[in-house]
Amino acid sequence: MSSGQKSLISYFKRKEKADESDNNSKRQKKINDKSHNIFNINSNNILNDNSSNIVHNNSNNILNDNSSNIVHNNSNNILNDNSSNIVNDNTTSIHALSYTEPLCDTPSNINENCSLPTTITTTSDNKKRTYKKWYSKEYTWLVYEPNKGGFCCICRDYWKPTVPFYSEMNTRTRSVFTTQPFVNWKNAPGQSGTLQKHQESAYHRTALQNLLFRQTEGSVAQQLFNASELERQENRQRFSDLLDGAYFLFKHELPHTTLYEPLLEVLTKIDHSKKLSTFFDKCKKNASYDSTATVTELLEATSEVIDKQILTKIRESRIISIMADEGTDINHHQNLSICIRYCNQDTGEPIESFISLLKIKNKDAQTIFDTIVKELKSKNIDMTKVRFTGFDGASVFSGEFNGVSAKFRQMYSNSILFIHCRAHVLQLCLLSACEDIIEVQESLLTLKSLFNFINRSSIRLARFNDIQMLLKHPQLKLIQPGDTRWLSYFRSVNAVIRCYEPLMITLEHIVNERGEESPSASGLLSILKDQSTTFILHSLEPILEALSILSKSIQTKNGDFNQLEKSMLGTLLRLEELKDVSINEYKQIFDIVDKIKTLSSTNLNRDRITRATSRTNEISLEEIFNDKIVKFIDKVISNIKARFESNALKFLNCFRIFDVSEATNEQEYGIQEINTIRQQYPDDFNDDLVAEWKVFRKYLFVQKQQQKSAILTQRQQCINLVKNGMTRDMYPQLSLAVEIFLCAPISTATVERDFSTMNRILTDLRNRLTTEHLEQLMRISIEGPSDLDDDLKDLIINCWKVKKSRKISV
């Protein structure tokens, strides 16, 4: 037995004798029965490698290795001073050191990781050593795991074997809070407690700094993602610039395949930020995005997005009307243009939209009908919503039995009404009246001869322009009149009247020149100098002006029959007024005719006109007015009244009951009209239509009684019933009825404009455009906005990039 062991035995015996009377029984009760770490070692005294625990076997004293306690079984005494007991072999003395947790950045030979459970009683403190929730609130890095202990989530995540200085950290801290749990909760709290010391340790601060850095910069993958996202956003912005350039060409009907690359070169030069040039530098040679293939793909994507937006609104509407016409392009191909009139459910406004341009082989009714139905069904448009068809007066469309409109009634519903384009009807009214008055017809034919004679010779046209300049007249061009071109007669008459004097002088110069074959010039000159022709042409101007105003009102895209009726009534009143020769317009015309007569007589060196001759001329002009002009006006009025009256118009007149100005408090007001609407469309309405009207007419009458300036018109009343809202929900049947009224097309002007757009795009220099690309260009020109907003750009770019795999991330 060594001297250290003998000293230890002696110490315990003296301690036992001194305290045997007072503390023997008390200390025996305080032995912790729950301790799981008592080991009976049958050997002599063992000095723990860490020099912190001693187990004395002979005296049955056991010093637990993890709790640094010495248990003496033979004497039933436990020495527990809450500190590590160190036996120094050299001095054979025991120093009881109070336990303090060393800093992590200072060397220590003390193992703080106790294996005893968190509820250990001692001889000096009966309180339990347990984890408290407020520890984790004060030290947010502390994570408690039941049946294990506490960990530092920051250190545990950072300190791995691959991290520099990990071995040093492991040696100094014994991996407490990282891989080994902390359980010595008695010394955990406080400014000098273990938790505070760990928080202030160098190893914890290192892990914390690393965490903050990773939160700021992100992981490597996150950094790569962020860089990729920034690059994608930059690419999208630059591609948006390319789209703006391409859309400028589409919208302004310019050759996109030839002008796209030069336009991008100009944009790159004027881009002082150099972003576009940088973008093109980054692009690969086989994906530069400045080629004709790219601009064609952008054309297709832009047209597709616009088409989807239009079709979505059409599918939402409850009623639609079909308008169509056929025409020939510059390549002599027969094309069919299709438009649809519908109501926007959000605003209630009627809209006419271009749908398709299709090439057809035959112009018969069956081919046109099949083509229309097939195209609309391919676009998922419900054909049972059709209530009107609008075409021109050609028999292939308007035929009562075999026309396209008749085939729609046969296929879908007899309730579908055909509406003859009112702009065409008005032109027919004018041409029919001209045929009945020969003098008027000859005067209008003179306009065609003048246009052909002057404009088909560059020499004559130049002379005409020079004479206008010498006389200080505005530089005007003659307009060619046409029987099928609306407003052309008014514009042609107006142009001739404004340059009547330069025209006569030009014709006289041509007649007087030697060697000039001028029978045409001489004949035209004599016609223009004829007093009757001069008076008729000048008298036709106010008549044709009134008809042109009516034609313009008919050609509006969102016009309705209520507006048409008011415009037609105003035109008829104006025509009646023009039958009075005493109004100021005709007094001015008489003066102009006398001036022209005097000018022509002076130029030809004829005798001076006497008062008697002038009086005779005045009388003859009045006779011409009464015999020719008044009869012409009467013919126009009678034609308008006869041709504008139709079954469709009589039906649509039923909706006048929605006009507040005509509302009355009579019980039968509007009942007959409502029943007519119900009979026309029996599948759409039931008895609720009459019941709703009986309530709504009271609402109209109250509005009339209030006599406010803000009273809604008939059109506004109908729009409010159609658009989504409380009024529509209260009167669902009336809402559907007025939507039918608003969807009735008054003309096919929209279709005619489509062909005008086609002729502007498909020129001699662009005659190789396919029908599909021509349709797409027409859709953008007609339906596209003037500029693309950011939302629409995103839709177009997304549509473009999903067409195929792209080498650029946008």
pLDDT digits 0-9 by tens, 322-334? 999 999 999 999 9
Indicate if 351 and 467 belong to the same structural domain: no
d(CA 152, CA 130): 17
Task: State both tokens at 437.
Answer: 């008055």
From the list 384, 389, 332, 378, the residue with the least C-alpha distance to 355 is 378
pLDDT of residue 94: 31
> Could you say which of 197, 217, 237 is where a domain stops?
217
pLDDT of residue 226: 61
Write the CA distances from 322 to 295, 397, 751, integer angstroms: 32, 12, 11
From the list 451, 625, 620, 616, the residue with the least C-alpha distance to 536 is 625
pLDDT of residue 600: 64
Task: Judge whether residue 90 has pLDDT over 70.
Answer: no
Q: Of the ranges 103-112, 141-150, 163-172, 745-754, which one carries the lowest mean pLDDT score?
A: 103-112
Domain count, the chain: 5
Helix (H) or strand (E) holding 79, with range, is: strand 77-79
Indicate if 175 and 53 belong to the same structural domain: no
Indicate if 514 and 594 belong to the same structural domain: yes
Tens of pLDDT, residue by residue over 748-765, are 999 999 999 999 999 999
**Which residues make beta-bridge pairs with 354?**
339
> Could you say which of 170, 194, 217 is where a domain stops?
217
Helix (H) or strand (E) holding 413, with range, is: none
Q: How far apart are the first and last CA of the chain?
A: 86
Q: Given pLDDT bands bounded at 50, 70 and 90, which one contains residue 189?
A: confident
Q: Of the ranges 3-7, 9-13, 279-283, 581-585, which one carries the lowest mean pLDDT score?
A: 3-7
Q: Is residue 243 part of a domain?
A: no
pLDDT of residue 575: 94
Q: Given pLDDT bands bounded at 50, 70 and 90, which one contains residue 54?
A: very low
User: What is the CATH number for 764?
Assistant: 3.30.420.10
Q: Is residue 51 part of a domain?
A: yes
pLDDT of residue 165: 85
pLDDT of residue 13: 56
pLDDT of residue 643: 86
Tens of pLDDT, residue by residue over 688-722, are 999 999 999 999 998 888 876 567 788 899 999 99
d(CA 64, CA 698): 100
pLDDT of residue 388: 95
pLDDT of residue 603: 54
Phi, psi of 322 (to 5 degrees): -105, 130
d(CA 780, CA 246): 12
Q: Given pLDDT bands bounded at 50, 70 and 90, which one contains residue 731?
A: very high
3-state DSSP assignment of residue 646: coil
Indicate if 380 and 453 belong to the same structural domain: no
Q: Is residue 191 part of a domain?
A: yes
Q: Is residue 542 part of a domain?
A: yes
Task: Judge whether residue 797 has pLDDT over 50.
Answer: yes
Indicate if 412 and 398 belong to the same structural domain: yes
Tens of pLDDT, residue by residue over 610-622, are 444 444 444 588 8
561-577 vs 531-554: helix crossing angle, rounded to 10: 160
pLDDT, greater one: 26 or 96:
26
d(CA 320, CA 744): 8
Buried b (16+ CB within 10 A) or exposed e, 638-666: ebbeebbeeebbebbebbebbbbeebeee
Q: Are 206 and 158 in contact (CB under 8 A)?
A: yes
Indicate if 610 and 690 belong to the same structural domain: no
Q: Which of 53-67, 216-230, 632-646 has the highest mean pLDDT?
A: 632-646
Task: State both tokens at 438.
Answer: 């020969």
Task: Judge whether residue 776 has pLDDT over 90.
Answer: yes
What percent of the chain shows pLDDT beyond 90? 44
Task: State both tokens at 107.
Answer: 């060397």
Indicate if 371 and 417 belong to the same structural domain: yes
Amino acid identity of residue 59, one-letter, is S
Tens of pLDDT, residue by residue over 129-157, are 688 888 888 898 999 888 889 999 999 88
Q: What is the mean pLDDT of the chain?
A: 81
Stretch 363-378: mean pLDDT, rounded?
A: 95
Task: Judge whether residue 182 has pLDDT over 50.
Answer: yes
Stretch 269-287: mean pLDDT, rounded?
A: 86
Indicate if 443 and 551 belong to the same structural domain: yes
Indicate if 530 and 558 belong to the same structural domain: yes
pLDDT of residue 729: 93
561-577 vs 630-644: helix crossing angle, rounded to 10: 160
Q: Is residue 302 part of a domain?
A: no
From the list 337, 369, 328, 342, the residue with the least C-alpha distance to 355 is 337
Task: Judge whether residue 785 has pLDDT over 70.
Answer: yes
3-state DSSP assignment of residue 391: strand
**Domain limits for position 20:** 3-98
Burial of 709 (C-beta count, 10 Å sphere; 0-12/13-18/19+)? exposed
Q: Are 59 and 12 in contact (CB under 8 A)?
A: yes
> Would you say the C-alpha torsion 203, 204, 206, 210 has a positive or negative sign?
positive
Q: Is residue 350 part of a domain?
A: yes
Q: Given pLDDT bands bounded at 50, 70 and 90, which one contains residue 510?
A: confident
Burial of 204 (C-beta count, 10 Å sphere; 0-12/13-18/19+)? buried
3-class SS string, 451-468? HHHHHCCHHHHHHHHHHH
Residue 515's region, left for phi above 0, alpha for psi from -120 to 50, else beta, is: left
Q: Is residue 278 part of a domain?
A: no
Q: What is the distance, to the nearest Å, from the Cα of residue 756 to the centroid of all Cα atoms in its chain? A: 27
pLDDT of residue 768: 92
Q: Is residue 563 part of a domain?
A: yes
pLDDT of residue 19: 53
Task: Judge whether residue 74 has pLDDT over 60.
Answer: no
Indicate if 439 and 581 belong to the same structural domain: yes
Task: Judge whether residue 269 has pLDDT over 50.
Answer: yes
Q: Are 467 and 506 in contact (CB under 8 A)?
A: yes
Indicate if 197 and 50 belong to the same structural domain: no
Indicate if 449 and 568 belong to the same structural domain: yes
Tens of pLDDT, residue by residue over 527-547, are 888 888 999 999 999 999 999
> Could you say which of 182, 217, 252 is where a domain stops?
217
Task: Judge whether residue 85 has pLDDT over 50.
Answer: no
pLDDT, greater one: 515 or 578:
578
pLDDT of residue 124: 43
pLDDT of residue 230: 83
Task: State both tokens at 538.
Answer: 């000048």
pTM here? 0.70
Tens of pLDDT, residue by residue over 196-250, are 989 999 989 998 888 887 776 555 566 565 657 888 888 899 999 999 999 999 9
3-state DSSP assignment of residue 789: coil
pLDDT of residue 133: 85
Q: Are 554 and 749 in contact (CB under 8 A)?
A: yes
